[in-house]
Amino acid sequence: MTEPTRASGIDAVFAARRAERKAPSAVWATFDRHGVTHRGASGTLGGDGADGAAPGPDTAYRIASCTKSFTATVLLALRDTGALDLDAPVTDWVPAFADVALPTADSPVPTLRMLATMSAGFPTDDPWGDRQESLTDEGLDALLRRGLSFDSVPGTAFAYSNLGYALLGRVVAEASGRPYREVVEQDVLAPLGLDSTGFTNDVPAAGGLAIGHRRVGDGWEPLPFSGPGAFSPIGGLFSTTDDLARWARWLGSAFDPDGEGDLDGILSRASRREMQQLQRFVPGLGAHPGGYGLGLFVEQHPDHGTIVSHSGGYPGFSAHMRWHPATGVGAVGFENATYAQVSVPITLALDGLLAETAAQGTGVGSRVRPWPETLAARDAVEELVLGGGEPGDWLAENIELDIPLERRRRTWGEAVESVGGLAPTSAEPLADDESKAPSHLVWRRAGSRGLLRFEIRLTPEAPPRVQTLTVRAETAH
């Protein structure tokens, strides 16, 4: 794919959005495993033209709940060193929670894992949680001692909870012996070189700071910034598109065999992959099925496979980061208006990027690379089915036990006849093979009246053998 194609796609999405006046300004970027591939911006930082400065890739915006991925990262880093146990009750680290009356007599005390996967039983708390950032630690303790309300028994259901991530921030501080913000700044931001990311509005961003706005009639009203506090772990960070793309690339590099091993000391590749695995299913998440991982949402796109993302919404700001772990292609975007939902254009843009990548053959999309043994089995199967060869020890014993080979041969012959015969066995299979896993392969061979479809699946042995072998005709209409 050429760079102009990528650029024109996402720029066109935001150009159309600009006419809808969703926010005074917007910034966006696309990236792959090697770095940022395109940057764009529109509007001015002042809502009604009071500040005519144009935003850019080094302008800082609040990233709001995208911060939760940073909180999950430092939590898992502490888990990996043995400083905490994800299955321990939150009361081990936040004693004030012991005063909370649980919803039923047999309810468990929420564990750190329940908090991290949004399943502690608390009600969804947007937009209340967004207004709690400056609460002190003492204020959070007082909130707990007054009691909490529960929507469900802890550990049984998903509900998006800012309170849960505020509690995790306290856990990080207690387990590390350092303030939460210091842990993130020293253990994550500094090693990754995220120099324009921070928790205060004096963050050193060369392109200045975007002011948040809300719509009032036909104009924009600027909003004050909240200061850092006990709820900063839910959404307190400011960042630029370049920095957030760098962050997303590092998370996604856990799936790249040639990923950035020199930075694995922040959090191991295994733990970063764990963050990006579905931990709690979310009914009605969006257009595609999925759920919550650890500080990240995980969706299953029917064409592209796994997509990882997180949105951020704060008074005056909207943020979204989104990437495709299989290829490392992703996009990030910010707008400085309440409820702007910049996730909409970023999602549309990434879908377009991935569709172009698949169409032009420059990425693997959701395709799986078969084992060499699977490809070798394909050749052996064709010799058995089409060449009249004899079975070898590459066939698992269940093949004969499930359907005797002579009966299979008759079925195969009928299928070949129904497609009008095939080209010589030395001809290459059609290129559009399919694999759901490295041990699985579907391929087709052309006949004069249709296609012959083969499917195999290999065993978990070493070396693996063929345990599923089906051949059927796909006749032309």
What confidence tens digit (pLDDT) does each residue in 48-61 have?
655 678 999 999 99
Q: Kindly tell me if the per-residue pLDDT of 5 is higher than 50.
A: no
Do the Cβ atoms of 46 and 24 come closer than 8 Å?
Answer: yes
Task: Assess whether pLDDT exceeds 90 at residue 258.
Answer: no
Distance CA 234, CA 460 (A): 42
Which is more confidently placed, 48 or 457?
457
Query: How far, in Å, CA of 298 to CA of 59, rounded?
Result: 28
Residue 433 confidence class, pLDDT cut points 50, 70, 90: confident
What six digits make up the tokens of 435? 């694999």
The pLDDT tens digits for 342-359 are 999 999 999 999 988 776
Nearest 5°: phi and psi at 59?
-95, 130
- Rounded to whole angstroms, the Cα distance separating 358 from 241 reads 25
The tens digit of pLDDT for each residue in 370-429 reads 999 999 999 999 999 998 888 999 999 999 999 999 999 999 999 999 999 886 644 555
Tell me the pLDDT tens digit for each residue of 268-301: 999 999 999 999 999 988 788 999 999 999 999 9
Q: CA 134 → CA 146, 197, 232, 363, 455, distances in Å?
A: 19, 19, 8, 44, 59
- Please name the helix (run of DSSP H) or strand (run of DSSP E) that holds residue 454, with its range, or none: strand 450-458
Residue 94: band (very low, low, confident or very high) from pLDDT cuts 50, 70, 90:
very high
Number of Cβ atoms within 10 Å of the Cβ of 35: 10
Beta strands in 228-268 (DSSP E): 238-239
Mean pLDDT, range 67-93, rounded to an integer = 98
Tokens of 11: 């720029």
**Residue 358 confidence (pLDDT):** 72
Residues 205 and 201: their CA atoms lie apart, in Å, by 10
Q: Which residues pair with 474 in a beta bridge?
A: 451
Q: Which two tokens stand for residue 296?
A: 């990240």
pLDDT, greater one: 367 or 117: 117
Distance, CA of 32 to CA of 263 (rounded, Å): 17
In DSSP terms, 39 is beta-bridged to 29
| pTM for the full predicted model | 0.88
- Examine the pLDDT at 1 and tell me if it is beyond 70: no
Angle at 213 between CA 209 and CA 215, to 5 degrees: 160
Quote the Cα angle for 28-29-32, to 5°: 155
Residues near 392 by Cβ (< 8 Å), separated by ≥ 6?
380
**Rounded Cα distance, 335 and 95, in Å:** 39
* CA atoms of 193 and 232, how far apart (whole Å): 21
> Alpha-carbon distance 337 to 18, whole Å?
13
For residue 318, count CB atoms less than 10 angstroms from its CB and return exposed for 0-12, middle for 13-18, buried for 19 or more: buried
* pLDDT on residue 4: 38
Q: What's the pLDDT at 359?
A: 66
The residue with tokens 């921070």 is 198
